[in-house]
Amino acid sequence: MSDKPTRTIKVIITFAAADKPYREDYAPQTLVEKVLSDALAAFEIASDGTTRYYLLHEGAELSLTSTLAEAAGRSGALPLKLRTETIQG
């Protein structure tokens, strides 16, 4: 049995319409899709089908199927921005 502490990545998500950022520690193998879902719930955002929500890291959109380890690299922290895009039907 290993005595090494489990590594986590500190995720901090800012959203222009929120008073404070969403902060949570996640396992490195966590998918971006899970983090986005958690953040939307924390910001009390319900999808209405007319808006797409996505996360940006260093100006680039993160794939929902990528892991936090892939996005963070060697860093133990992952600052993200929640953005929206209106979907036109």
Q: What is the structure's pLDDT at 7?
A: 86
What percent of the residues of the chain are helix, what percent strand, and what percent coil, each to the nearest 5? Answer: 20, 35, 45
From residue 83, how far is each of 5, 60, 61 by CA, in Å? 33, 11, 9
Q: How far apart are CA 14 and CA 21, in angstroms?
A: 5
**Could you tell me the pTM of the whole model?**
0.89
pLDDT value of residue 49: 85
Domains identified in the chain and CATH numbers: 9-86 (3.10.20.90)
Give the CA distances from residue 22 to residues 56, 88, 89, in Å, rounded to whole numbers and listed in that order.
Answer: 14, 28, 30
The one-digit pLDDT tens for each residue of the chain (89 residues) are 455 556 899 999 999 999 999 999 999 999 999 999 999 999 999 888 899 999 999 999 999 999 999 999 888 999 999 999 998 76
| Structure-token pair, residue 76 | 């133990």
